[in-house]
Structure 1
Amino acid sequence: MGRFEGTDRYIATADLKVAVNAAVALERPLLIKGEPGTGKTVLAYEIAKAFDAPLITWHVKSTTKAHNGLYEYDAVSRLRDSQLGDERVHDVRNYLKKGKLWEAFTAPARPVLLIDEIDKADIEFPNDLLQELDRMEFYVQEIDETIRAEIRPIVIITSNNEKELPDAFLRRCFFHYIRFPDAETLSAIVDVHFPGIKPRLVAEALKTFYEIRDTPGLKKKPSTSELLDWLKLLLVEDIDAETLREKTPNKLIPPLHGALLKNEQDIHLFERLAFLGRRDGGRPGG
């Protein structure tokens, strides 16, 4: 298997490439943390594309349990079918629903398994997966069979840092934190998504975007994905760099700000700043 170098649609920083390739070489899960919208989930898709590997995605919810990833036995359906005299009841396999780990362990080609937003589940969830991810096997009691991975999948685990993960789990992972991109990296990401976009518009948009992110008291900082949405709207509405550059007190809230500011507290914060700007601007010498 080759090395991950990013793709034509995904700008990977040097330290992220090192992390991906180290996890692949060590055959350990790659735990990716970072604030929402920094491309953690998309990374798994791009790794699968780069290695020409099938992608198996397990989106974790607050109700997800570790056994959901192994298999589920539908005893109720089997009981109902037995009462109806259905021939299917004689083979218990008809009532086993394969989970994502089962799929990954038995895939014909080495897959990429994405366990997405692991921190959404309860604190026991990561620990309950330790043995299966370590040994790459699990036992199915209903058929007295061990499901074992002949080809070890590339495991990518994402976390939004909503809760601390157990130390025993962390020890078994290769860890990488995706820092929020600097202006140069973000500009390269924009170029990938909007080839031919005017550099002046990008420069002004990034300046406004970082000013918003750096505003003290902001409840939710806008992310990379929200910047891309905003730029798309700016292009659709044909808003130019000069319009963005206007910094009069009335224009503190950027046009189409609904793509960047996602809650009323942050909008009120900018409205207060605009009010203070107008008040200070009206003073002599202000």
Structure 2
Amino acid sequence: MDERTVRKTISQLAYCYAVNRRVSDPVQFSIAGLTGKAEKIFNSYPSYSNWDVNVSNKNLDELWNPKQIVYLTADSNNLLETLNEDKVYIIGGLLDHNHHKVFEILVNFCQSLDWKKAFLNVIPKRKGIGEEILSEYKKGEEITTVLIMLSLSGASNQPPGTAFIWISSILAIIVDCLLIMTIGLELEKSLFSYQSLLNWPLVECIFSSLFAINFFISIWLCFNGKSFSDDRTSYSLAATFSLANFVQYTLNVIYHVRTWIAEQKSAMQVIDPRGVGVTSYGGP
């Protein structure tokens, strides 16, 4: 780079330093590989020596473990979803000609842990991009919420609806435990024409408990789905638990239908007319 470009780049470093100092919880700011013309110009400003910044002319691999280094570039297919304290995030030292400062966005995210707020605080509203980001964010919230309700989400955040699922799952487990203690442990007569080892109320309670547990596991998958090496794994597991929920619903339907049929037969109480000659309707 020529001297004019180098000076502009150093000015952007000064801007990043100012941004970092303004926040309540600043990040660790380091400048590495400062050599040659850039080092000479940087040292020519007396105020820079007072910066609370780690400045070094060493290469990145000399300062940090290569496994810790994360290069931030638009050419990567990987998405940056959160920031890890154990990682070192590298922003290239080339002159940034646009006004959407990557460093400022990262600093804002560290304060709020919210990408939407981080982008909207940095990108000028007059550009019209802020509304676009907000719209896409809301779409993502709606999609993630629907996926969680279907137990098919691999999202790592806690979108709206999560609290409802937690509360309903806890209540379901409490109610099912009470039902198992009051009904499931008693060997009642079967409502059907044959005797079975397990009565249907007990079976229904067991599957209802599994249903609540499945919700808990599905929520866990939503929180930690991105930690899998392949996102399809989390989706496959969540789909398996959704299938278990479907089976539980199916058994509930069978149970209620057969109970209704048994109650209808019991209510009729038909007596063989060839015997006493009386039916439940009181006819001769």
Q: TM-score, normalised by structure 2?
A: 0.23
Higher strand proportion: 1
- Report which of the two structures shows the higher radius of gyration computed on alpha carbons: 2
Specify which structure has the bigger relative contact order, considering alpha-carbon pairs within 8 angstroms and separated by 6 or more residues.
1
Q: TM-score, normalised by structure 1?
A: 0.23
